[in-house]
């Protein structure tokens, strides 16, 4: 089954959430390989793009193997947003997404991210401005359930954004105040789904195929978006695809996981313009995530944070597999 966001067709399985500092190109390609049906870039500052920050070009680039993919922008001024959209269009994203959910003080203090949950009028004006500038490229918005538990306004926000021309809304069922703690409230996602006609993407706390199916069923959302559940686990997308298509799924064993971890590290090194040693700094957290949940994981994860070459990663992976085998795992 597929779903259309504007003119973009997306498989109705599960999509990778935008994650600054995590979901870079190597990460996205790994998730895509294992079945993510749609990818979103790390957030990019609209103002930064307008002032041609060098890093932004790197963040906005969409390669063909990543499509369909959105570039996500954050900003608090309609004019800068319009200008940023024009610049981003040069990178031919399939979709432009606007971040109205980021809780971090550095972003919120500029009036962007989840601060916009407190100013529905400005959020609508930013969206309208982006939509006008984007032409036939769909503009979507990612929101939270509200600012805090006393101000749950995702429904009001989603309706306003729909009227401003948004082609879909992603809802993370937490308030800004919650950051990433507590539980996501899926009822809010269901309420938004019942209130708008455009597709709704549900997000928050999906960790496996079971919770993905549960989110589809409980909220009626059109797509499920997964963030932290993909850490060291691009396989989650194959698991979901298999479940939704009624196919048998065999989870990877530890040697397969280590093989994929090394593949991911090679990709990070090959994409990076930095030296292998510096690229390994970026690879470390990923290596540690792939080792989660096994015998002796904590110690090995610590060792991942010391890795400074691919050869060391290979040796560590081999040792890890041997350790599991010695425990009969």
The three-state secondary structure class of 164 is coil
The interface mask with ligand FMN, positions 194-233, x = CB under 6 A, is ---------xxxx-------------------xxxx----
102 is catalytic: yes
Site string for ligand FMN, 36-75 (x = CB under 6 A): ------xx----------------------------x---
Between 123 and 321, name the residue whose CB sits nearer to ligand FMN: 123
CB of 290 to ligand FMN, least distance (A): 17
26 — alpha (psi -120 to 50), left (phi > 0) or beta? alpha
Binding mask 254-273 for ligand FMN (x = CB under 6 A): --------------------
Structure tokens belonging to residue 111: 């009036």
Count of CA atoms in the C-beta half-sphere (13 A) of 80: 16
- Bridge partners of 144, per DSSP, are 172
Instruction: Give the shortest CB-29-to-ligand FMN separation in angstroms.
Output: 18
Strand partners, 225: 15, 203
Q: How many residues bind ligand FMN (CB under 6 A)?
A: 23
Q: Does 146 bind ligand FMN (CB under 6 A)?
A: no
Q: Is 20 in the site for ligand FMN (CB under 6 A)?
A: yes
Options 31, 102, 212, 221, the catalytic residue: 102
Q: In which region does residue 151 sit, left (phi positive, over 0), alpha (psi from -120 to 50) or beta (all else)?
A: beta
The distance of Cα 148 from the centroid of its chain, to the nearest Å, equals 22
Residues 284-323 that bind ligand FMN (CB under 6 A): none
Burial 71-86 (b: 16+ CB within 10 A, else e): bbbbbbbbebbbbbbe
Q: d(Cα 121, Cα 141) in Å, to the nearest integer?
A: 14
The reply on whether position 25 binds ligand FMN by CB under 6 A is: no
Interface ranges with ligand FMN (CB under 6 A): 17-22, 42-43, 72, 99, 101-102, 142, 172, 180, 203-206, 226-229
Catalytic positions: 102
């Amino acid at each position: 089954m597929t779903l259309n966001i504007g003119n973009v067709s997306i498989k109705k399985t599960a999509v990778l959430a935008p994650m600054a500092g995590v979901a870079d190109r190597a990460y996205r390609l790994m998730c895509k390989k294992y079945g993510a049906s749609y990818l979103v870039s790390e957030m990019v500052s609209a103002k930064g793009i307008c002032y041609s920050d060098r890093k932004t070009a790197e963040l906005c680039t969409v390669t063909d193997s990543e499509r369909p993919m959105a570039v996500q922008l954050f900003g608090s001024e309609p004019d800068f947003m319009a200008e940023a959209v024009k610049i981003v269009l040069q990178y031919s994203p399939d979709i432009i997404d606007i971040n109205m959910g980021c809780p971090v003080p550095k972003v919120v203090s500029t009036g962007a991210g989840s601060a916009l949950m407190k100013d529905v009028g400005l959020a609508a004006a930013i969206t309208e401005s982006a939509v006008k500038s984007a032409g036939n490229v769909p503009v979507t918005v990612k929101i939270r359930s509200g600012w805090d538990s006393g101000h749950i306004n995702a429904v009001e926000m989603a309706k306003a954004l729909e009227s401003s021309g948004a082609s879909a809304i992603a809802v993370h069922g937490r308030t800004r105040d919650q950051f990433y703690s507590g539980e996501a409230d899926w009822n809010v996602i269901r309420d938004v789904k019942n209130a708008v006609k455009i597709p709704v993407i549900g997000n928050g706390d999906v960790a496996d195929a079971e919770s993905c199916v549960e989110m589809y069923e409980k909220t009626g959302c059109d797509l499920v978006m997964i963030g932290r559940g993909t850490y060291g686990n691009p396989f989650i997308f194959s698991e979901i695809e298999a479940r939704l298509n009624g196919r048998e799924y065999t989870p990877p064993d530890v040697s397969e996981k280590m093989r994929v971890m090394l593949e991911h590290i090679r990709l990070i090194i090959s994409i990076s313009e930095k030296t292998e040693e510096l690229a390994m700094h970026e690879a470390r957290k990923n290596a540690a995530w792939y080792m989660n949940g096994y015998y002796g994981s904590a110690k090995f994860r610590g060792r991942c944070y010391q890795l400074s070459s691919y050869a060391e990663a290979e040796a560590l992976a081999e040792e890890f597999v041997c350790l599991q085998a010695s425990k009969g795992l």
